[in-house]
Amino acid sequence: MPHDLRAARAQEPVVRSARTASPVDLPERPRFITDLDVLRARRTLKWQIGPDTPDRICLGVAEMDLYPPEFLRSALVEALGLGETGYGLPEAQEAACGRYLSDHHDAGVAGLRCTTDVLTGLRTLMRSGLAPGTPVIVETPVYGDLFTVVREAGLEPVAVPLLRTGAQWQHDWAALATAARDGARGWIVCQPHNPVGRAWTLPEMSQAIAVCREHDLLLLANEVHIPLGMPGRAMPSAFADGAIHGVRAFGLTSASKAFNVPGLKSATVYGSERSAAALADLPQSLLGRPGSLGAVATVACYGPEGVAWLRTLREELAERVRLVLDELASLPVRVSATAPEATYLVWAEADGEQDARRLAAALDASGIHVLVGESFGGTAFDRCFRINAASHPAVLRTAFARLRAALR
């Protein structure tokens, strides 16, 4: 099987659009969808969840409202033309992911394996690396499916809240150490952290590694959003610190969030030197078998055209996030929001119970779907909600205009 899809296909005709002819000088611009009827007709999860109303606006699930970029369409069309709809191309995907992590996130990994998605990879790694019933640290507020996947692995999630100091979120190092002393043997670290958008610095990642070394914790770095740092923001992988190779550690990432391809079911797991043998020995049947189209998409996304497109996308997402923050500040209820350092997700909180009730009623009355705070860690976050800012400005402004009207 070829290690480089592009080299293997050098003699094949390739479809290119004029605007992607020079990926460095003329990067393709992301094409966000403005037509709400087109969005509501989408059959993917984001626009099929929430209020069952014909005028709904869905700003909850972490999908982006855009068309696939031409470089990605071309790669998939080429693969379909060649009949490449069979089993996966793991060597090409693993090599592309390894290069991307090294070039853009300073990661040095000791082995990579393909999996179908980050949650499947996490479940398999926890089942194989921890005894049944073992406590696993999950920092809250956090993507709620992490609690589910820990339980599916036969383990016990232990919630350790992040600390908030002003507008900044921090690890609670004392609480993490206490959880480890009380029996936790695993820790899921999200880089960046969903939903608050915190991008951990290299010193913070190094301290996390030190905690894992001291308490012999299995470090599980969920890096699915790592390509989505705000412009100018450094996004070091947990594997940017060579000390990680002295602890049991795995990382997981995918092109799914940054390039909006979760439906192609393709992700990559990577390990530390201490965990490399365990990763190599995992049966592929437990990690799942990604299809060839997922591998083709991953190689295209991590290539030069994908990196150039991603740069422009991050700039546009930063503008969308600023728009959402401004709109939240203009609402006739008191809402505090965290400006994310990464992702296109905005975590917000109504400042009091009365404002929270008014806001919840207005969201319901206006047919706007967001993700409620309780799904990110329980009732401690019942005044919170998460907004997906990855929509066209016209869609976001329509949603907030409707919300303001409902609050009057």
Check: CB of residue 389 under 8 Å from CB of residue 345: yes
pTM score: 0.92
Structure tokens at 257: 């969030």
The residue behind tokens 């990855």 is 390
The residue behind tokens 């947990």 is 238
| Run of H or E residues at 310 | helix 304-329
Domains of the chain with bracketed CATH:
27-67+308-407 (3.90.1150.10), 90-304 (3.40.640.10)
The residue behind tokens 């611009």 is 29
Can you give the pLDDT of all 408 residues of the chain as single tens digits?
333 333 333 333 232 333 344 444 567 899 999 999 999 999 999 999 988 889 999 999 999 999 999 999 999 999 999 999 998 899 999 999 999 999 999 999 999 999 999 999 999 999 999 999 999 999 999 999 999 999 999 999 999 999 998 889 999 999 999 999 999 999 999 999 999 999 999 999 999 999 999 999 999 999 999 999 999 999 999 999 999 999 999 999 999 999 999 999 999 999 999 999 999 999 999 999 999 999 999 999 999 999 999 999 999 999 999 999 999 999 999 999 989 999 999 999 999 999 999 999 999 999 999 999 999 999 999 999 999 999 999 999 999 999 999 998
CA pair distance 239, 113, nearest whole angstrom: 15
C-alpha pair distances (Å), 55 with each of 39, 314, 366 = 11, 29, 9
